[in-house]
C-alpha cells in the first residue's frame, strides 16, 4: 500500500513550500480518488498558545512555523508547490486537506487574505472533489464563513468544502475538563446549524481512548459522539461524515506524561478494529486516521495497511484475517 503514497518532509525554511505534503489513494464519498494532505507553514493554534495550554493530547505545535508569518502569496505558493510536486493535477478525483495546525477560520491564525489566496489556487483545480479544513466551533460563525465563501470564484460551489470539528467524545465533562477542549455538544450543534446556511459539509472527528479510560468506555464515547454528530447533521440537513482518530502519544503532551508513568497506553489494534466495526454498524463507513500528519507514531505497518484498505473499500471483511 505504501506505493500508493508519495510524501515529502521539507526541513528548510523555504516559505514557498509547505511543511509537508502527501498524496495517497482515498475514497471520496464512496468513489476512489486521491487525497492530498498539505500542512501549511503557519503560526499554529491560538487555543494551544493560551496560558492554560491547548487540548491535552495535541502535538500540532510541532508542525508550526512560529518564526515568521507567511504572506498570502507564500501560502498560495505552498499549495501550488504541493499540487505540482505530487502531480495531483493528474488525478481524476482529488480531495485536498489543507491544515494550518490549528483553526483555518480563525483570522488570527490565517488572515482572510491568506484564505482568499489559497481559494484562488484550489478553486482552479479542475478535478477537485472535496476541500477539507479544520476549525473549532467558535470560528464557524457567519461573518467568517461569508467572507471566505465570497472570496471564491463565482463558479466554485460551497458544496465542495467540508469543515472538520474535533468533537472527539460524547461526554461533555470528559471533553471540557480532561481533554481541555472547552466546548460542549451544544456548541458543536450550534456550529453545525450555522453551517447549514452555507452548503458547506461537516467532518466530525471522534477520538479513540484520548485519555485514561477503560476500552469499553473508549468504545462507547466514540460511538456516542459519532451518533450525536450524524443526528445533528441530519437535523440541520448538513452533509456529514465521521473520521475515527485512534489516539497516539505525541511528545510534549499531557498524555505523554501519563504514558511515561505507565498510567496510559494507546488503543491496541484489536480495539481500533472493534471501534471501526461498531461505528460502521452504527453510523456507516468512517474514515480512519492513519497518522500521516508527520507526527511520530508507533503503529504496526500491517495494521496501517489493513486500515488503509478499509478506508479505500469501506468493507469490514478486510479485518477477517487481521
CB of 46 to ligand SF4, least distance (A): 8
Neighbours of 223 (CB within 10 A): 18
- Of 91 and 288, the one with the shorter C-beta distance to ligand SF4 is 288
- Strand boundaries in the chain, DSSP class E: 6-9, 20-28, 31-39, 94-99, 128-134, 161-168, 201-208, 240-246, 287-288
Q: Quick one: which H or E segment has residue 246?
A: strand 240-246
Choose between 168 and 171: whose C-beta lies nearer to ligand SF4.
Answer: 168
55 binds ligand SF4 (CB under 6 A): yes
Contact, 170 vs 231, CB < 8 A?
Answer: no
Binding region for ligand SF4 (CB under 6 A) out of 40-48, 144-152, 156-164, 310-318: 40-48
Q: Which of 133, 162, 166 is nearest to 40 (CA)?
A: 133
| 45 forms part of the interface with ligand SF4 (CB under 6 A) | yes
Residue positions counted in the chain: 322
Count CB-CB contacts under 10 A for residue 42.
Answer: 27
Q: Which of residues 23, 34, 48, 163 is near ligand SF4 by CB under 6 A?
A: 48
Q: Is beta strand 6-9 parallel, antiparallel or unpaired with respect to 20-28?
A: antiparallel
Residue nearest ligand SF4 by beta-carbon distance: 54
Cell of 301: 505497518
For ligand SF4 (CB under 6 A), the number of binding residues is 10
| Contact string (CB under 6 A) for ligand SF4, positions 59-78, x = contact | -x------------------
Least distance from C-beta 7 to ligand SF4, angstroms? 21
Q: Pick the closer one to ligand SF4 by CB: 47 or 264.
A: 47
CA angle 193, 198, 202 (to 5 degrees): 60
Cα–Cα distance measured from residue 17 to residue 120, given in angstroms and rounded to the nearest whole number: 17
Q: Which of 47, 104, 205, 264 binds ligand SF4 (CB under 6 A)?
A: 47
8 Å CB contact between 87 and 33 = no
DSSP code of residue 316: G
- What is the DSSP code (8-state) at residue 70? P
Residue whose grid cell is 493554534 = 45
Q: CB of residue 211 vs ligand SF4: minimum separation in angstroms? A: 13
Binding residue for ligand SF4, selected from 35, 41, 136, 194, defined by CB under 6 A: 136
CB of 217 to ligand SF4, least distance (A): 21
Span 86-105, contacts to ligand SF4 by CB under 6 A = 102
Q: Please check whether residue 208 is in contact with residue 245, taking contact to mean a CB–CB distance below 8 angstroms.
A: yes
Considering beta carbons, is residue 55 or 273 the nearer one to ligand SF4? 55
Judged by beta carbon, residue 99 or residue 264, the one nearer ligand SF4 is: 99
What is the per-residue binding string for ligand SF4 in 142-181, x denoting contact by CB under 6 A?
Answer: ------------------------x---------------
Q: Please tell me whether residue 115 binds ligand SF4 under the rule CB under 6 A.
A: no
Helices 142-150 and 185-195 meet at what angle, rounded to 10?
A: 40
Give the shortest CB-169-to-ligand SF4 separation in angstroms.
13
Residues that bind ligand SF4 (CB under 6 A): 45, 47-48, 54-55, 58, 60, 102, 136, 166
Amino acid at each position: 500500500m505504501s506505493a500508493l503514497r508519495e510524501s515529502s518532509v521539507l526541513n528548510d525554511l523555504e516559505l514557498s513550500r509547505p511543511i509537508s505534503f502527501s498524496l495517497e489513494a482515498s475514497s471520496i464519498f464512496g468513489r476512489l480518488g486521491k487525497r492530498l494532505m498539505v500542512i501549511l507553514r503557519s503560526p499554529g493554534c491560538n487555543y494551544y498558545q493560551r496560558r492554560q495550554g491547548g487540548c491535552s493530547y495535541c502535538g500540532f505545535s510541532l508542525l508550526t512555523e512560529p518564526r515568521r508569518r507567511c504572506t498570502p502569496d507564500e501560502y498560495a505558493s505552498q499549495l501550488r508547490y504541493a499540487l505540482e510536486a505530487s502531480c495531483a493535477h493528474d488525478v481524476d478525483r482529488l480531495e485536498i486537506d489543507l491544515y494550518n495546525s490549528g483553526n483555518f477560520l480563525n483570522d488570527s491564525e490565517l488572515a482572510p487574505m491568506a484564505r482568499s489566496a489559497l481559494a484562488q489556487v484550489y478553486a482552479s483545480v479542475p478535478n477537485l472533489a472535496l476541500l477539507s479544513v479544520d476549525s473549532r466551533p467558535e470560528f464557524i460563525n457567519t461573518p467568517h464563513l461569508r467572507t471566505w465563501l465570497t472570496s471564491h470564484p463565482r463558479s466554485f460551489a460551497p458544496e465542495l468544502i467540508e469543515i472538520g470539528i474535533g468533537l472527539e467524545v460524547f461526554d461533555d465533562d470528559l471533553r471540557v475538563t480532561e481533554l481541555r477542549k472547552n466546548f460542549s455538544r451544544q456548541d458543536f450543534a450550534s456550529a453545525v446549524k450555522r453551517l447549514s446556511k452555507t452548503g458547506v459539509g461537516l467532518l466530525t472527528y471522534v477520538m479513540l481512548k484520548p485519555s485514561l479510560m477503560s476500552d469499553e468506555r473508549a468504545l462507547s464515547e466514540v460511538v456516542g459522539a459519532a451518533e450525536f454528530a450524524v443526528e445533528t447533521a441530519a437535523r440541520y440537513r448538513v452533509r456529514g461524515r465521521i473520521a475515527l482518530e485512534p489516539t497516539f502519544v505525541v511528545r510534549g503532551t499531557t498524555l505523554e506524561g501519563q504514558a511515561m508513568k505507565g498510567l496510559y497506553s494507546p488503543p491496541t489494534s484489536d480495539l481500533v478494529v472493534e471501534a471501526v466495526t461498531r461505528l460502521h454498524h452504527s453510523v456507516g463507513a468512517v474514515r480512519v486516521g492513519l497518522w500521516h500528519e508527520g507526527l511520530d507514531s508507533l503503529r504496526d505497518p500491517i495494521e496501517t495497511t489493513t486500515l488503509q484498505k478499509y478506508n479505500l473499500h469501506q468493507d469490514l471483511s478486510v479485518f477477517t484475517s487481521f
